[in-house]
Every structure is written in structure tokens, then in C-alpha cells.
Structure 1
Amino acid sequence: MAAFLLWLLLLVFCWPFALLALVLYPIVWLICLPLRLIGITVGAAFAFLGALLMLPARVLRGRPA
């Protein structure tokens, strides 16, 4: 809602920039989409490696002495 109000404010004060932002937003979103997917993949890979490295400690901690 706040983003919409800010866009309306921009439309009132500087309508060419508001229309340019309205046209360019989908293009920027499409350019950023592969980068977001790469970020999700790298985050998942690091979480998997962290879980894999912590597995021996979890197995040893779970055993009774």
C-alpha cells in the first residue's frame, strides 16, 4: 500500500519518471529473477553443507555416555 501511495505521489509531481518506472519495473524484475534463483540455490547448498558437517556432532551428542 505504501509503495502504491509513493508511486501516486511520484505520478503527481513528476509524471514522466512515474510512467518510466511503471514500464521499466517488469524488465528489471525479469533481469533480477535469475539472480534471485541463484541466491536461493547457493543458500540451499550452504545449508546442506552446514548440515552435513554438523552431522557427526549431532550423532555423537545424541548417544548416551
Structure 2
Amino acid sequence: MVGFLLWLVLLVFCWPLALLALVLYPIVWLLLLPFRLLGMTVTAVFAFLGAMLMLPARVLRGRPI
């Protein structure tokens, strides 16, 4: 909601820049999408490795898996 209000203020003061932002936003979002997917994958791999490394310690302490 705040982003939309800021865009409206930009539209009032500098409408060409606001329209350029409106057109470029989906393009930039699509360009950055692979990096988001890569970040989620790396996070998942590190979480998996952390769980695998901590599994013997959890079993030895008697905690349920």
C-alpha cells in the first residue's frame, strides 16, 4: 500500500519517470527471478546439510527425529 502511494506521489510530480517505473518493474522482476530461485535452492541445500550433520547429535541425545 505504501509503495502504491509513493508511486502516486511520483506520478503527480514526475509522470514520465512514474510511467517508466511502471513499465520497467515487470521486466526487472522477471530478470531477477532466476536469482531468487537460486537463493531459495542454496538456502534449502544448506538447511538439508545442517540437518544431516546435526542428526547424529540429536540421536545421541535421545531427541526424537
User: TM-score if structure 2 supplies the norm length?
Assistant: 0.94
The alpha carbon displacement at 1:60 in A equals: 0.1
User: Which letter maps to 1:25?
Assistant: Y
Unmatched 5+ residue regions in structure 1?
none
1:41-56 equivalences in 2 (<5 Å): 41-56=41-56
For the pair 1:8 / 2:29, whether they are aligned, the reply is no
In 1, distance between residues paired with 2:51 and 2:13?
52
Unmatched 5+ residue regions in structure 2?
none
1:1-65 equivalences in 2 (<5 Å): 1-62=1-62
The alpha carbon displacement at 1:36 in A equals: 0.2
* Percent identity of paired positions between Structure 1 and Structure 2: 81
User: TM-score if structure 1 supplies the norm length?
Assistant: 0.94
The alpha carbon displacement at 1:30 in A equals: 0.1
Give the root-mean-square deviation of aligned CA atoms: 1.0
In 2, distance between residues paired with 1:32 and 1:26?
10
